[in-house]
Amino acid sequence: MMVKARGIRFNVDILGPENAPVVMLSNSLATTMDMWQLQLPALTEKYRVVRYDMRGHGQTEVTKEAYTLEGLAEDAIALMDALELDKVNFVGLSIGGMIGQVIALNFPERLNSLVICSSTSSLSFADPVVWEERMGSVQSGGMAAQAQNTIERWLSAPFIADNKDVVRQVREMIEATPVDGYIASCRALLAFHITERLPSIDLPVLVMPGALDQATPPILSEIIHENIPGSILKVIEDAAHLTNIQQSAIFNKSLLNFLEGV
């Protein structure tokens, strides 16, 4: 369904028992809420699951002003308000994990817990030239120009070879992402630096990187874990960036074990 928040229409999907604890899922760059399909059967037995396409992605509107991670976090809070959700367990992957960190810092009263998957607390490691080339390629050739390179960063070579249908679905999400939404989100990422603020987070946190991740190497998740007191680190073996897709069974079990302990 479409939900209006902060002046734009967001594409939102809600599944699971009405009175169950809420799990809110936030997608990665250049994907949609459909990236969470493999988590739905596991989660919806015990949890109310809220998925949404973030600003500039999927069926949610693209806006012209500059994006920031603070603004994307405010989007999530506005959606919670529109849906009358007081608190959620927030699960974000990649940029979704960054959104979750900002919510934990700026709106801690709205979270029961936070799960940060394949993410980072700072893009200081990134080469701005590489990102500018990536954005320039998309600007001139559309999202298809970056689809194959992105897939090869996000999934391991053996998985790509053996799971052609899954890879096709990921490619379709990437290629359907609005160019303006992608570029605005990339610029928001490059301005993201919050590592020094992480020690103030005081809630249950699970950090889940993929051992083979090239986009956000596991060391970046280790930095998050080391800076958030009491956080749990679970490295997903034999998984690249999209841990929830490449190792869905292990991902789901780890996520459910954490949520049950919250």
Residues 197-251: pLDDT tens digits? 999 999 999 999 999 999 999 999 999 999 999 999 999 999 999 999 999 999 9
Distance (Å, whole) CA 69 – CA 158: 33
Burial of 109 (0-12, 13-18, 19+ CB in 10 A): exposed
User: Exposure string (b/e) for 37-70, b if CB count within 10 Å is 16 or more?
Assistant: ebbbebbeeebbbbbbbbbbbbebbbbeeebebb
The residue type at 151: I
What length does the chain have? 262
Q: Which 3 state secondary structure label does DSSP give 148?
A: helix
Distance (Å, whole) CA 124 – CA 167: 30
Question: Is pLDDT of 126 > 90?
Answer: no
Work out the average pLDDT over 47-55: 98
Both tokens assigned to 86: 């007081």
Distance (Å, whole) CA 224 – CA 117: 11
Distance (Å, whole) CA 248 – CA 259: 16
Residues 152, 160: contact at Cβ < 8 Å? yes
Question: Is pLDDT of 34 > 90?
Answer: yes
Question: Is pLDDT of 125 > 90?
Answer: no
Q: Round the average pLDDT of the chain to a whole number and report it.
A: 97
Question: Is pLDDT of 11 > 90?
Answer: yes
Residues 37-50: pLDDT tens digits? 999 999 999 999 99
pTM to 2 decimals?
0.98
Collect contacts of 146-150 with beta carbons under 8 A, ≥24 apart.
Answer: 146/30, 146/174, 147/171, 147/174, 147/175, 150/30, 150/174
Distance (Å, whole) CA 253 – CA 102: 26
Range of the domain at 74: 2-261
Question: Predicted confidence band at 31 (pLDDT cuts at 50, 70, 90)?
Answer: very high
Q: List the CATH number of the domain containing 86.
A: 3.40.50.1820
Percentage above 90 pLDDT, the chain: 98
Residues 75-95: pLDDT tens digits? 999 999 999 999 999 999 999
If one counts every other C-beta atom within 10 angstroms of the C-beta of residue 71, the result is 16
| Number of structural domains the chain divides into | 1
Q: Which helix (H) or strand (E) holds 168?
A: helix 164-176
Question: Predicted confidence band at 157 (pLDDT cuts at 50, 70, 90)?
Answer: very high
